[in-house]
Chain A
Amino acid sequence: MTVAPKREAYDVVVIGAGPAGLAAAATSAEAGLSTLLLDENVGPGGQVFRAIASTPVTERNQLGADYWVGADLVQALRASSAEIIHRATVWSLDRNLEIAVSVGGASAFVKAKRVILATGALERPFPIPGWTLPGVMTAGAAQTMLKSSALVPDGRTVIAGQGPLLWLLAAQILRLGGRIDRILDTAERGNYFAALPHAFAFLTSPYFAKGLSMMREVKAKVQVVSGVTELSAAGDGQLASVSYVAGGKRETIPADLLLLHQGVVPNVNLAMAAGIEHGWDELQLCWSPVLDASGNSSVAGIAIAGDGADIGGANAAVVRGRIAARAAVEALAPAAGAKLPAMATLRADLAKAERGRIFLDTLFRPSPQFRIPSGDTIVCRCEEVTAKDILDAVAIGATGPNQLKAYRRTGMGPCQGRLCGLTVTELMAQARGKTPQEIGYYRLRAPVKPITLAELAAVPKSEDDIKAVVRG
């Protein structure tokens, strides 16, 4: 499957094969549009349906019914005429809808009439003291290994943070016979009151019953400490212990593995590099693209679907994928749209899938002390820049994330700000008494994933390209 795209141009190119991308590509291809789906992973599924076509976990109830829904999406896509390429890293997308993609060490360029970005979400940075130590990982990382390789935590394991994924992961680890010593719940108690006005929608959504039964399942087997207000990891070159404060009391426990999670945020790198307008979302505390009701962005021809548009979970992502694809069909081949579900039906599906989200967003809004670190805590993992380094730079004149690069190289390492960007924005906003919107974000550019110079040098060149740089 790691071959270059068959054509130079497509009606629709979908980027990302998670729930939104799978649904979008299948919808577009069913309507008869030439469709290419590019995905960085080894197989389809994105993160939520990770390894759906290859998981060694054969006991279906261990991963849960919500996971296996992904198999139907993959089947629908494979039955369609869409061209699918895995292990394909898109490193550039521009306003002309030209896409540069690296496949098997060589880059190809394809043109699209419409692009649907389904690049999903990543876990919110969790910058606590010691979070760069070997043995500290994200909860999502553990879940990825569980789904794709049936690997479960074996040593002394602590899970810390908050949000629905944390409980799902804990349940899955236990079902597969893995070990969890303690769960440290960082959900702020005050958030329960703030979330109360939105409780009715949540109580009548499918999240409620599922969430409750999962929490019961986990709490029956693992010691859960709630109201955790401080958290740190320590060890000499390897995690050795986790310290926390709950109810004003500090405790330190030995640990080999600490899994962190405090929600997910849109993965904005490709969208921002394409010049798509984003704004600060004060409820979800992240950057979200500015989109119309069909997912169309500020760049003509590019739509965004799934959690990259707005965190809404897998069900909402699937519907957003269908909506974005239907909008593309309406624009390119209006007659073919008659074959697809009506837009009004899809919008009703989306409203249903999003029911209860505001409650969850409010309840699981991460506390400031876990988002905005201080002192020697590392903010930028790649360039090893601490919170104090950043505040010192602000004190001598750094005004925002882009100026800060010249002072400290934050965001200039290989991850290109994915693991520090939100922290830098919020930290600088707080230090300068401004809003995150005023402080802004890193200016992102292609290549959004590193490629070798040799690969760049080997891309096909036109006569004009050569003339632009060669003299005489």
Chain B
Amino acid sequence: MFRRSEQDKRPQVQIFVDGIAVAARQGDTVSAALLASGQDARRSTAVSGAPRLPYCMMGVCFDCLVTIDGVGNRQGCLVPVAEGMQIEIQKGKREIGK
């Protein structure tokens, strides 16, 4: 859906999406890294289980909700990636304890 422009010379950052290593760039938000990864990053909604991807990328729509380092319901579009970050695509509602 999206690709990186060649002029982007930022250093790589390795994150893990459902356990699979993904190369992101320093300064990417989690959502941008997911959309650039080419992987299926669709979450499913808490109400009907419908698949969704980020819609606004500016912190207002909450369609980027994702589990980051064990904490659920994080807005992926507001969190910058960090080396070794563990991302889980959230299926349905946030689980208790996450």
Q: Which residues of A contact B (CB under 8 A)?
A: 40-42, 47, 51, 54, 56-59, 87, 122-123, 132, 134-138, 140-142, 144-145, 148-155, 176-178, 237-238, 256-257, 267, 381-384, 413-415, 418-419, 450
Contacts and interface: CB of A to CB of B under 8 A. Distances in A.
- Chain A to chain B: the 6 pairs with minimum beta-carbon distance, closest first: A141-B57, A134-B53, A414-B62, A150-B5, A150-B8, A154-B3
Contact of A418 (B1, B2, B50, B61): B61
A104 to B, nearest CB: 11
Contact of B63 (A267, A381, A383): A381
Contact of B4 (A54, A151, A382): A151
Contacts of A149: 4, 8, 25, 27-29, 32, 36
B20 interface: no
Given A42-B29, A151-B36, A144 B3 contact: no
Contacts of A132: 50, 52, 55, 63
A42 B80 contact: yes
Interface string B6-42: 1111100000000000000101110010011000001
B69 to A, nearest CB: 11
A40 B60 CA distance: 11
B56 A122 contact: yes
Contacts of B45: 384
5 contacts: A54-B27, A87-B78, A122-B56, A148-B28, A418-B60
A15 to B, nearest CB: 13
Contacts of B48: 384
Contacts of A144: 57-58, 77
A41 B52 contact: no
A468 B63 CA distance: 37
Nearest to A138: B56
Contacts, number: 133
> Which of B32, B55, B63 has the most chain A CB atoms inside 10 A of its CB?
B55
Contacts of A40: 59, 78
A57 B5 contact: yes
Given A57-B5, A151-B3, A237-B42, A137 B62 contact: no
Contacts of A418: 60-61
Nearest to A105: B71
Given A132-B52, A141-B55, A149-B25, A41 B78 contact: yes
B61 A381 contact: yes
A151 B62 contact: no
Contacts of A238: 42, 51
> Which of A141, A415, A450 has the most chain B CB atoms inside 10 A of its CB?
A141
B52 A148 contact: no
Contacts of B50: 132, 384
Interface in B50-88: 50-63, 65, 73, 77-78, 80
Given A59-B7, A137-B57, A141-B56, 14 more contacts: A56-B9, A132-B52, A132-B55, A134-B51, A141-B57, A150-B4, A150-B8, A151-B5, A177-B6, A257-B2, A381-B55, A381-B61, A413-B62, A419-B60
Contacts of A382: 47, 62
Contacts of B51: 134, 237-238
A382 B50 CA distance: 11
